[in-house]
Amino acid sequence: MTNEGEPTLYVNRWGDSRDPSRSGHGAYRDRCSCFSQSTPRPRARVGFHTQQQDTSAPGWRHLLELIDEAADDGREEFHPLTELSADERRQVITLPSSIAKLTAVRHLVLYGSNLVRIPPQIGAMSSLEQFTPYTSYRLHWFPYEITRCRKLTRSTVSTRALFGNYKLRPPFPRLQPSPDSHATDLDPTHLEPRRWGATAVHSCSVCDRPVTQRGLHQVWISILVATDVLPLLVNACSPECVDALPDGDEDHITAPHKGGHIDQPPSDWD
């Protein structure tokens, strides 16, 4: 039994996830105005973040070095942002594709990041058991490839920041039409994130085959990943791969969809 006067000790579940702004080093992330993350304010439309990663930025180069170090020493916990200055953190809006090398990492901590997207290469992190992008308020969706992390059983996500979340039901960005109804000059390796959510799509989210000029079929699906229902962007190579997707979560839109003006279940506020 604990004495009444004895102080209670609380465990930091995410290790050294310090906030650099508390040390007087300036802003380490940008504000997000895509939709309200505190109250239900219906919006007709939302979009993808349009920023592209500056690969010449010091923060990006530093992150590349940290990933190489983590891959070389086979560490099981990876907290890269704690090694970056506030300015460097703000410069990183996605992760490098080289995270595919982190096959020994069991816990990936991205607490308080400035990320707007996660690359599909996260699916190659075969040992990943715990994923913590908590308080990454500009991160509204995840790649379907995260479902390839078969050992992933725990996650800590800021739910209110997600497209279609059950608390507020913000809309999803409207996805581009399937290839049979638009021009055939699309180059999947050079995309505008404003329209496609990514700067490039190389392989199918479902079967991993190459995505060709006529084979980019994008849909949204919301399913349980570890401990959170996440909105996942699927980049499929064919209608058959779209048909092979599992059903969505029963408290969300249960079928793959194109986003935009689509009915969702009531929010917790309704």
Q: What is the pLDDT along the chain (270 residues), one digit of tens a residue?
A: 434 444 333 334 444 455 554 444 457 889 999 999 988 877 778 999 999 999 999 999 999 999 999 999 999 999 999 999 999 999 999 999 999 999 999 999 999 999 999 999 999 999 999 999 999 999 999 999 999 999 999 999 999 999 999 999 999 999 999 876 454 678 899 999 999 999 999 999 999 999 986 789 999 999 999 999 999 999 999 999 999 999 999 999 999 999 999 999 998 776
- Taken as a whole, the chain contains a residue count of 270
pLDDT at 139: 98
What is the token pair recorded at 113?
A: 């990041």
pLDDT value of position 39: 85
Looking at residue 5, its amino acid is G
Contact between 90 and 29 (Cβ < 8 Å): yes
Enter the pTM of the model. 0.89
Residues 43 and 171 sit within 8 Å (Cβ to Cβ): yes
